[in-house]
Amino acid sequence: MESPTILENYNNMYTMNYDINYQDTMYNKLFCTFTTLGGLDEFVEDITSKYKVMYDKIFVLHVKSNNEYVCTYNIDLGNVSEIPPNTISVHRKKDSNTLYTINALNELIKRLNGGVVDTRFPIEWQHYQNTILLTQHDELKQLKTKIYKIIEL
């Protein structure tokens, strides 16, 4: 019997339990675009005319605290010449429906771990369920979300 490799034993918080097709993930990114309810239809028309939206779905989330809307969608990187306005690239923790940027994740770890960024620090993702974690002026922001609708393309 072979012994496990170092990678199999390494507990890294950036390793998520996604249902991953590595070929797909190498060529697409999860984008998060902020919009208003009034601008939603124009946004969808603009995005679908310029980019190949993978999985033919755009998830529209409502940010309760500021009555803003966020659209999340995967884009095929082969046809991205620029990131759309008001858009950030995010990662997703599937089990808790948490969206986050790497900078926000590092800020969260610093906050929870006495100011030290340690990639092995365990995050209790259920505390951030239905939340977008991002940074603004080097400060961690937590935006609570609720699904507004799913747009099938």
Q: How many domains does the chain have?
A: 1
- What's the domain range around 145? 20-152
Residue 1 lies in a domain: no
- List the chain pLDDT tens, one digit each, 153 residues: 443 333 333 333 333 333 333 344 456 789 999 999 999 999 999 999 988 899 999 999 999 899 999 999 999 877 777 888 999 999 999 999 999 999 999 999 999 999 999 999 999 999 999 999 999 988 999 999 999 999 999
Among candidates 110, 113, 146, which has minimal Cα distance to 129?
A: 146
Decide if 26 is inside a domain. Answer: yes
**Is residue 145 domain-resident?**
yes
Residue 15: inside a domain, yes or no? no
CA distances in angstroms from 33 to 13, 58, 60, 129, listed in the order given: 25, 10, 9, 19
In a domain, 130, yes or no: yes
In this structure, is residue 118 part of a structural domain? Answer: yes
> CA 52, CA 150: separation in Å to the nearest integer?
17
Report yes or no on 90 lying in a domain. yes
Handedness of CA 115, 96, 75, 141 (dihedral sign): negative
How many Å apart are CA 84 and CA 117, to the nearest integer?
30
